[in-house]
Amino acid sequence: MDLQLSGRVAVVTGASKGIGLAVTRTLLDEGVRVVAASRKSTPELEALGGTGLLHVPVDLMDPEAPGRLVARAVEEFGGLDILVNNAGGPPPGVSLPRFSFMAPTDDDWREMFEFNLFSIVRAVRAAIPEMLRRGGGSIVNVSSGNARQPAPMNVDYNAAKAGLNNLTKALSEEFAPQGIRVNTVSPGPVRTAWWTEEGGAADIIAAQAGTDRDSVMDSVAPEMMKLTTGRLVDPQEVADVIALLASPRSASTTGAEFSVDAGFLKGV
C-alpha cells in the first residue's frame, strides 16, 4: 500500500534505536526526509544513511532542544509535515522499573515528567507553526499501555504517559480543524534497549525473580504482564502503525489511541 508520504519531512525523536529507529527506517523507505533526533547516533542509524536522513544530536531534557530540532528540519529540508514524539521511558541515567510509589523522589518525578511530557509539549509547540505554514501535518505521540493500566510499578512514568494521552486529545480538538492530526500509539512491553541493555528492565526483574535476563524477556515478563500473544512486541510492529497514522491514508483519524501491546490492556 502506497502511504503517499514521498517528499514529506519528518522529525523523529529517540531515533537511534528501538521504536524510533524502526520508525526512521520505515519513513525513509516511504520516501520521507527524516530528521532523526537522539543524544548519540548508533551504527544502526548511521547504516540507514542517504541524503534524506539528518541526525541531530539533542538532549531533550534541555528546554531549548525541541525548538532547535524543529528549526533544523526547516533549515535542512524546507519545512515540517510529521512529528513523531517517540523519545521517552527512563530519563538519562535512570533505570526502571521502580516497584513502589514510595521509591521515586520529587526530583525523580520532575525528571520523569520533563522527559516524557514536557519535552513533547515543547516539540509540539515548535512544530505547529511550521505545519500550519504547509497547510497541515501529522503528530504521533508514543505513549504506553501503562497510561491506562494504573499500577504501583513505575507510577511516575505511568502518570506522565496518562498526561500525554490527555494532551493528545486536547491538541487534536484544537488543531484538527486547521489540518493537523494528532494521535497516540500506546505500545505494551517492546523488546528494546529499555529491556535488553545491561542493567535494564530484564536484569532488574531477573534479580527480583531469581532468574536470568533471557528468561525474563522470553517467558517471565510475558506471563507477568499477561500478554496474550505470549511475547514482547517487536519495534517494527509499532513503527508500522505510526507510519500509517502519519500518512494521508489516515486523513480522518485524529484524537485516537492505538494499542500495539501484545494483548496487555484488558479493559474495554
pLDDT per residue as tens digits for the range 122-137: 999 999 999 999 999 9
Secondary structure element (H or E) that encloses residue 187, with its range: strand 180-187
Q: Cα separation of 158 and 113, whole Å?
A: 10
pLDDT per residue as tens digits for the range 193-232: 888 888 888 999 999 889 999 999 999 999 999 999 999 9
pLDDT per residue as tens digits for the range 70-82: 999 999 999 999 9
Report percent pLDDT > 90 for the chain. 91
Residue 244 confidence (pLDDT) above 90: yes
Q: Cα separation of 217 and 232, whole Å?
A: 7
Average pLDDT (7-22) is: 98
Q: What is the DSSP string of 195-255?
A: HHSTTSHHHHHHHHHTS-HHHIIIIIHHHHTT-TTSSPBPHHHHHHHHHHHHSGGGTT--S
H helices of 117-226, where?
Answer: 119-133, 155-175, 193-196, 201-209, 213-215, 221-224
pLDDT value, residue 267 = 86
Active site amino acids: 157
Average pLDDT (167-171) is: 98
pLDDT per residue as tens digits for the range 82-120: 999 999 999 999 988 999 999 999 999 999 999 999 999
What is the dotted CATH code of the domain comprising 9-188+234-258? 3.40.50.720
Domain ranges of the chain: 9-188+234-258, 192-232
Residue 260 confidence (pLDDT) above 90: yes
Report percent pLDDT > 70 for the chain. 100
